[in-house]
Amino acid sequence: MRERRGLVGHETDNPYYEGKKYPEPTVCERCGLFYRDGHWQHPPEDLPEGVHRALCPACRREKDRYPGGLLYLGGTYLVEKREEILNLVRNQEEEARGQRPLQRILWIKDQGDELEIATTTPHLAMRLGRAIHSAHKGDLEIKPLEDEYMVRLFWRRDLKEA
């Protein structure tokens, strides 16, 4: 493994950095995304000959099970509104993915009164956390981790006792 330079990892030292350069054109051997003109995009109908193969940053995170963002949801309100909140999460993911295909949800772990949502990018976790917060209120706490390429968010809301 390559040594990290400096005290705080610069983004170019980040093995999952979305702006990392690949030879053009490259196709992701796992999800089929296509790298050209400096970014990952949906593939053309016919792949050109001699296309390079690699893992895109999102698939690399998926394979390593190393998310860029973790969002924890909890509270009695969540139990009540679970489906509504999960729909919001899926719609937000779809929209984000339409804009930048590297933004994906890696997993949703359902632990009854708590949900853990892992995303490929810190940006997507922030987007989901903020969307839930703005639609459902509650408390949102954001904890970026220094020298790690990820962010953690904690959201919870409890129903008031009757």
Restricted to residues 2-61, the positions that interact with Zn ion (CB under 5 A) are 28, 30-31, 33, 56, 59
Least CB distance to Zn ion at residue 134 (A): 30
Least CB distance to Zn ion at residue 63 (A): 9
82 binds Zn ion (CB under 5 A): no
Least CB distance to Zn ion at residue 70 (A): 20
Residue 26: alpha-carbon gap to chain centroid: 22
C-alpha distances (whole Å) from 29 to each of 5, 32, 93, 147 are 30, 6, 22, 29
Pairing relationship of beta strands 139-144 and 105-110 according to DSSP bridges: unpaired
- Cβ nearer to Zn ion, comparing 33 with 96: 33
For the stretch 26-65, what's the b/e string if a residue is b when 16 or more beta carbons lie within 10 angstroms of its beta carbon?
Answer: bbbeebebbbbeeebeebeeeeeeeeeebbbbbbbbbeee
- Cβ nearer to Zn ion, comparing 56 with 70: 56
- Cβ nearer to Zn ion, comparing 28 with 132: 28
- Cβ nearer to Zn ion, comparing 100 with 133: 100
Least CB distance to Zn ion at residue 15 (A): 14
Token couple for 113? 């009164």
Map residue 150 onto helix, strand or coil.
coil
Q: Which residues of the chain form contacts with Zn ion (CB under 5 A)?
A: 28, 30-31, 33, 56, 59
